[in-house]
Structure 1
Amino acid sequence: MAKHEEYEQKTAKLLEPILEANHFELYDVEYVKEGGSWYLRAYIDKENGVTVDDCVLVSRELSDLLDQHDFISDSYVLEVSSPGLGRQLKKDKHFEKSIGEEVEIKLYKAVNKKKEFAGKLLSFDQKSITIELEDGTTMEILRSDIATARLTFDF
């Protein structure tokens, strides 16, 4: 297991009682290096949306637990936030909740000279997702070909 995966899993485990006590859901945890700095990000969600106060509450409690358990050797920045309106879809539970929603898919390599597709998420399985394009046709995309998948929204 890679270091970042270990840190993400341990952080998710520490978050469980905090989130359960406050009726939040863990959307995702990521440990990434950006611009020379490490970031530990926890994305939380709840039915009517996450507030800044919710993020502060979780951040303070998680920070205390991270200090107690001290399993991350690098210095890092802790961030707790909502996954946002254009949330990234990574896990099966994310795709499951997004069936029928409009999504934007970016691929690692072009298909029919395009690397970006948008449409309604119809279905998914371990190997692929199926979207309905604007013209009414369906497209099956291998999950291994997907660089990013996220919800889209109109204002």
Structure 2
Amino acid sequence: MLKEKVKALLVEAFEEYGSLFLVDLSFKGNNEITVVIDGDEGVTVQDCINVSRKVEHNLDREEEDFSLEVMSSGATEPLINKRQYKKNVGRDLDVKLQDGSKITGLLTKVEENTITLSWKERVPKEVGKGKVTVDKEEIISFDAIEQAKVKIKF
């Protein structure tokens, strides 16, 4: 019963705060509820407070005791939700594919079932010695992605 009520309250919260969306929701044995959120324009502390209050103030602790933690998705966490990919267009991603290969490139496009990465690569010249820089692009199916993370630049 608690799970369904929390899920319904989160739906209401995300309708009210339209730029926010759910990344992960977990329940542990002793009613420890963990909510991980993200937003199209990022997540502020106030966003976490707003979602927390929306859930917590509509649950009755007399009925069922619980603990609630609402947090933003970390910068080093893998992308899970397609909406996370969309908000990161224009940023570099490290993508590990199901076949074990890895690609690092600029996320240039997100479509219904695919993403497009582009990068520059040095390849041997067709004639003569040396290498030349060429532009590469690959369209990758979401099904082929094992894990994708935003590459943080300092």
TM > 0.5: yes
- Return the letter of the residue paired with 1:31: L
1:45-84 equivalences in 2 (<5 Å): 45=39, 47=41, 49-51=43-45, 53-67=46-60, 78-84=68-74
**In the alignment, which residue of structure 1 is the partner of 2:105?**
119
Alignment gaps of 5+ in structure 1: none
Superimposed CA distance per residue, residues 91-131 of structure 1 (whole angstroms, 9 cap, x where no aligned partner): 34332222221112122332xxx2x3221012232222111
**In the alignment, which residue of structure 1 is the partner of 2:153?**
154
Aligned length: 138
* TM-score in terms of structure 2 length: 0.63
- Return the letter of the residue paired with 1:127: N
Superimposed CA distance per residue, residues 61-113 of structure 1 (whole angstroms, 9 cap, x where no aligned partner): 32222448x8xx9x875321222334543334332222221112122332xxx
Q: Secondary structure at the match of 2:58?
A: helix
Which is helix-richer, 1 or 2?
1
User: Aligned partners of 2:40 and 2:87: how far apart in 1?
Assistant: 13
1:34-49 equivalences in 2 (<5 Å): 39-45=33-39, 47=41, 49=43
Confirm whether residue 101 of structure 1 aligns to residue 72 of structure 2: no
Superposed CA RMSD in Å reads 3.7
Confirm whether residue 31 of structure 1 aligns to residue 25 of structure 2: yes
> Structure 2 vs 1, CA of residues 129 and 37 (structure 1 numbering), >3 Å: closer, same or farther?
farther
* TM-score in terms of structure 1 length: 0.63
Task: Determine what percentage of the aligned residue pairs are the same residue.
Answer: 21
Q: Which has the larger radius of gyration?
A: 2
